[in-house]
Amino acid sequence: MTSRFGVLATILLTAAALLAACGGGVAATTTPVATPTATVAPSPTPTTAATPTVALAATETPSPGAPAGAATGDVVFRLVPEQSEARYRAREQLLGRSLPNDAVGRTNAVEGQIVFTADGAIDAARSKFTVDLTTLRSDESRRDNYIKQNTLEVDRYPNAEFQPTAESGLPWPLPQSGQLQFQLEGNLTVHGVTKPVTWDVQATIDGGRITGTATTQVTFQDFGMTPPRVPIVLSLEDTITLELDFTFEPVS
């Protein structure tokens, strides 16, 4: 009996040792069962469509008195009508001989402005002067009536217009005071005809105020007009001198 129990015990111990050896060689790992998890996609972040941006030029807000469309650095001078006068001057002829006398018609019915950009160039689109020809007066009303009705034809063409486009000889920036001499180029419209002309300008600047005189010469034929002629007695020479006494003040 004792030997049987000894043999049995030996077998059991051997089996236990074998089991222990097997258990020690393989790590008893529990493979976790992959629990299905619901993969929740992150809520789409609301996207805002890219708003087109417009690069705005850095312009200064025009002051209340400035004309529409004025940009930063623009300098605007407006004519003061009550301190300005537009004139024509033509030499009279008697029996074909020039008289030592000029027929002079004049009016204060003139208005307009000239606009300079920051670099001193003239902004032609916003620069213009207008003269009401129906208001021209000289020392002889009969001459005035004849010129306005038969030469200028003011019923059809009541205004003369000048649009400056360029200058020559004007210092920039403008000085605060002193004398100025320069030329002003542009397009003159009279009697429905537009021609380029150049004005010689002499001016005085005092602060922002500019005063002076501009002159140019044209002919009646330049603008499709017949020079006034009263047969045998009186007529005007073909060349006409146009003059503008002006006062300009800056637009603040």
Please state which of the ranges 112-121, 169-178, 222-231 shows the lowest mean pLDDT: 222-231
CATH number belonging to domain 75-250: 2.40.128.110
Predicted confidence band of residue 9 (pLDDT cuts 50, 70, 90): very low
SS3 state of residue 26: coil
What pLDDT score was predicted for residue 140? Answer: 87
Q: How far apart are CA 145 and CA 137, in angstroms?
A: 9
pLDDT cut 70: percent of the chain above it: 67
Residue 93 pLDDT greater than 90, yes or no: no
* DSSP string over 93-161: EETTEEEEEEEEEEES-EEEEEEE-TTS-B-GGG-EEEEEGGG-B-S-HHHHHHIIIIIS-TTT--EEE
Where along the chain do its domains lie?
75-250
- Joined tokens for residue 146: 């004849």
Residue 207 pLDDT greater than 60, yes or no: yes
Q: What is the mean pLDDT of residues 172-199?
A: 97
Residue 121 pLDDT greater than 90, yes or no: yes
pLDDT in tens, 148-163: 999 999 999 999 999 9
